[in-house]
Structure 1
Amino acid sequence: MSILTIVLNILLPPLAVFLKHGLGVTFLISILLTLLGWIPGMIHAFIVNGTK
């Protein structure tokens, strides 16, 4: 995982997910979790972007 991905996971979780996986269910889940709370969105982004 690059430094840019880590920074985006922290600051803008949906953008980090979008750049790695594009538009899809994962991106929509990331937006929903970020709207519910920044920390759940960030955790989801790290989990999704940390796995291959």
Structure 2
Amino acid sequence: MYAALWRKLPGSTPVKWLLTLIILTGVFFLLMDVVFPWVSSLMPYNDVAV
């Protein structure tokens, strides 16, 4: 699967590495902005009873 994605990226090897880094950074920020806050609201550790 990763080889197929690698072949679909345009450019030479350094350009492919740069595009891969940009894509991974975008996925990271998307997860931090959308997915993790949503999951955090569902976790039971927010219900503190002391």
Does the pair score TM above 0.5?
A: no
Q: Give the TM-score normalised by structure 2.
A: 0.34
Structure ranking higher on relative contact order (CA contacts 8 Å, 6+ apart): 1
TM-score, with structure 1 as normaliser: 0.33
Rg: which structure is higher? 2
